[in-house]
């Protein structure tokens, strides 16, 4: 396992500026960063995985994220199976609040037991501390302007009504 290779996993439904902030900073810390769209069975999805993947790729390009960033999706089982496949030794997650700490801690402990993989938490830029995909989904569904919270490609996609909502 290589501790210079990291994975940023998430639902990214949709990607937000908070996600891009974490991805940008993680890409500066590691030699190779995998941004992984993972199906979360505990959440009802707004966008299909392929759409989230495409929006992430466009957003990472448009936001000029530097580094060796690979965008992929995973629906074949455990997150740590993907990490093991690509030889990653680290998972990176953004932590906005105590609520995130409580949500992420058990997953970090389970992932370490499953595959000896460490989880590193990054604190968000305060500008993005309150942005979440679930709030963006709600604002978009009710016809509000999400452009302050999401990268351009996501704002344009949601604005076109392409979701069929």
Binding site for ligand PNS (CB under 6 A): 9-11, 38, 40, 43, 78-79, 107, 110-111
Token pair, residue 17, equals 């500026």
Give long-range contacts, CB 8 A cutoff, 24+ apart: 39-44. 39/11, 39/74, 39/75, 40/11, 43/11, 43/13
Least distance between ligand PNS and beta carbon 135 (Å)? 13
Whether residue 19 lies in the annotated active site: yes
Least separation in angstroms between residue 10's CB and ligand PNS is 3
Q: Find the shortest distance in angstroms from Cβ 23 to ligand PNS.
A: 13
C-alpha closest to that of 151 among 18, 48, 40, 41: 18
Q: Is 113 annotated in the active site?
A: no
Residue with Cβ nearer ligand PNS (19 or 24): 19
Q: Which of 4, 43, 97, 113 is catalytic?
A: 43
Would you call 43 a catalytic residue per the annotation? Answer: yes
Q: Which is nearer to ligand PNS, 5 or 92 (CB)?
A: 92
Residue 71: φ, ψ to 5°: -105, 130
Integer-rounded Cα Rg, in Å, for the chain is 15
Nearest to 46 by CA among 110, 129, 140, 130: 140
Backbone angles phi and psi of 132, in degrees to 5? -140, 155
Nearer to ligand PNS, 76 or 143 (CB): 76
39 is in an annotated binding site: no
**Spatial distance between the Cα atoms of 61 and 30, rounded to a whole number of angstroms:** 18
- Minimum Å distance from CB 110 to ligand PNS? 5
Write out the binding residues: 11-12, 19, 43, 79, 93-96, 104, 128-134
Write out the binding residues for ATP: 11-12, 19, 94-96, 104, 128-134
Q: Provide the annotated active-site residues.
A: 19, 43, 96, 133
């Amino acid at each position: 396992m290589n501790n210079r290779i990291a994975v940023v996993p998430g639902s990214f439904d949709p990607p937000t500026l908070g996600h891009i902030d974490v991805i940008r900073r993680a890409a500066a810390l590691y030699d190779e960063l995998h941004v992984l769209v993972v199906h979360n069975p505990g959440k009802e999805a707004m966008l299909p995985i392929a759409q989230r993947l495409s929006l992430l790729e466009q957003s990472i390009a448009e936001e000029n994220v530097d580094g060796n960033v690979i965008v992929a999706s995973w629906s074949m089982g455990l997150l740590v199976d993907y990490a093991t496949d690509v030889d990653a030794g680290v998972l990176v997650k953004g932590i906005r609040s105590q609520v995130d700490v409580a949500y992420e801690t058990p997953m970090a402990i389970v992932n370490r037991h499953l595959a000896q993989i460490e989880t590193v938490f990054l604190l968000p830029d305060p500008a993005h501390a309150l942005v979440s995909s679930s709030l963006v989904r709600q604002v978009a569904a009710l016809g509000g302007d999400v452009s302050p919270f999401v990268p351009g490609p996501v704002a344009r996609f949601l604005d076109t009504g392409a979701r069929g909502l």
